[in-house]
Chain A
């Protein structure tokens, strides 16, 4: 049967490339992840459930979840605006703007965390402004965590939406415009549906990344239990108490969450590919 399949493939090299891909993924991703699963499998389901539903652990999920969600929403909105500006408009400084989008990938998360913290405390450049003008503190609150996560996630959205906007046929827009459709109507009825799958892909990546982010958040979070303690820190503090079982249990929950987000995303992507594929 294998032969029959291979016969159908005209381009040679399937065995080699498939083998290398699988081997590499196996060593780097699958085996280590399996060891996590094996480790947690040693725990009885009761203990596992008890561990991952402790009030403090639950609240750390909530902190991570709510801040990552808020940050992903901000990223989605700002990402679409920035991508739009970059694709549709010509203006001085455009190249610079385009160039710095990936900065959050390139800047070490610890450096980002430290400098964002310094900027947003009530003594920092930005924090002082907000503190004096609105009485809002940024650093050491959930708002601060959200700021750090917005920083981390912005390139995901911009870079997912940009290519779709570039490829979009402007004829439809122009036609709608000539027919007298308002700008908001054009955006929501024509542009948004078109970029929605890409936007969701960027949104879910930045959301998932935000859930797990540690380096930049730990400096700005304040780490108060039930208020600003994030789930990755929870894992780390369990590790420091030599409580491997709890650490791996919580890690497994987060891993599953990340995987679910990816699955939803890939489902949406494949569905939209089918729709657009059908249209083409």
Chain B
């Protein structure tokens, strides 16, 4: 008995060495690409695109197989956009990045992984699909929420993620800002109204998905400020429980994509990665995007999915799949002077958003 125990200990000591060595090697081996006719690539993306890329990857695999005869395996990674960007900059090996905003790709570019000028690499400033910000309210809209100014009223519970940690929330904030600006308010008045709006926020989650869960599963609040695609997804998951209210003005959210130059050159996957992103602009892919409630960049395809009503409330997901409300005025990030300027003015430490909570 005792002898056996001694052997066990010796065995344990040896196996720790072996395991740690093989563990390291195996991990390195798994990630290597171009194994025979199977190509591997990694797409690091942000939270709400899970369903989109799950569908698109299937479409693309067929396309690539047809084109080159090779099989592709695509590994997905999802998380908060800024967090994901930081991980890529820190060494998470992604062949392509598909983030919520250009600013997040800038981070990867600043780390030297992507060559400057990535926005001109693909059409429409490298954003194959866009989205916008809408309201999700409970069935029959009991609090009668129609537009941004309703969110500042007393007794309204608002759910939105924190602009400090969520890319989506930054769009929410800027859209609200634009609305008040359009009412001809001075900057002080805008800040006052935004402050009122954020005073109504019940739960400030760290990411867009967290907020959606808080609103739907945990039943908090009267209105969720959400990505359009998130709002539709919630309606689809829980039919008859929510309505979408499209405000009079909103913001054009341009998720941006890029090939990670350093990684694709190292792995020899540039051709594959480039094709992966440019195929996002094909008619087939544009329809996949529309079916996942992203606005396609191709105007003809937008027409195909346009919702033919002047009413800005959607009480159920249209059965014919025509959901795009075109009756909405959208600003874009250029109005705020581009992301670096917007972040400086609104979201950095001590900037406007922090001041809202300090008062």
Contact = CB atoms under 8 A, between A and B. Distances in A.
Q: Please say whether the chains A and B touch (CB closer than 8 A).
A: yes
B357 interface: yes
A239 interface: yes
Contacts of B219: 121-123
B314 interface: no
Contact of B82 (A55, A233, A242): A242
Nearest to B205: A223
B349 interface: yes
Given A118-B217, A222-B202, 7 more contacts: A121-B218, A222-B203, A224-B201, A225-B354, A226-B357, A237-B162, A240-B165
Contacts of B347: 241
Nearest to B81: A240
Contact of B206 (A118, A226, A236, A241): A236
Contact of A237 (B89, B107, B165, B348): B165
Nearest to A120: B218
A139 B214 CA distance: 11
B35 interface: no
B220 A140 contact: yes
6 contacts: A55-B358, A223-B205, A237-B164, A240-B80, A241-B82, A242-B107
Interface in A86-123: 117-118, 121-123
Interface string A211-252: 000000011001111100000010011011111001000000
Nearest to A139: B218
Given A117-B218, A240-B165, A54 B349 contact: yes
Contact of B86 (A121, A225, A242): A242
Contacts of A218: 206
Interface in B12-69: none
A56 interface: yes
B83 interface: yes
Interface residues of B, number: 27
Interface residues of A, number: 27
Contacts of B165: 236-237, 240
Nearest to B350: A54
Contacts of A121: 218-220
Contact of A223 (B206, B218, B220, B349): B206
Interface in B61-108: 80, 82-83, 86, 89, 107
Interface string B207-244: 00010000001111000000000000000000000000
Interface in A112-154: 117-118, 121-124, 139-140
Q: Pick the 4 closest A-B CB pairs, nearest first.
A: A240-B82, A225-B357, A222-B203, A123-B219
A79 to B, nearest CB: 30
Contact of B204 (A118, A225, A241): A225
B348 A223 contact: no
A278 to B, nearest CB: 38
A239 B204 contact: no
A53 to B, nearest CB: 12
B206 A233 contact: yes
B34 to A, nearest CB: 33
A203 B218 CA distance: 32
A123 B221 CA distance: 12
A55 B348 CA distance: 14
Interface string B292-329: 00000000000000000000000000000000000000
B204 A222 contact: yes
B164 to A, nearest CB: 5
Contacts of A243: 349
Contact of B203 (A223, A236, A240): A223
B82 A123 contact: no
A140 B203 contact: yes
The interface centre, meaning the residue of B89, B201, B357 with most chain A CB atoms within 10 A of its CB, is: B357
A138 to B, nearest CB: 12
B347 to A, nearest CB: 7
Contacts of B220: 121, 140
Contacts of B203: 140, 222-224
A124 B218 CA distance: 8
A246 B354 CA distance: 15
A187 B217 CA distance: 46
Contacts of B204: 222-225
Contacts of B82: 240-242
A223 B217 contact: no
Given A123-B218, A224-B203, A233-B206, A240 B357 contact: no
A55 B162 CA distance: 17
A56 B359 CA distance: 12
A56 B218 contact: no
B209 to A, nearest CB: 12
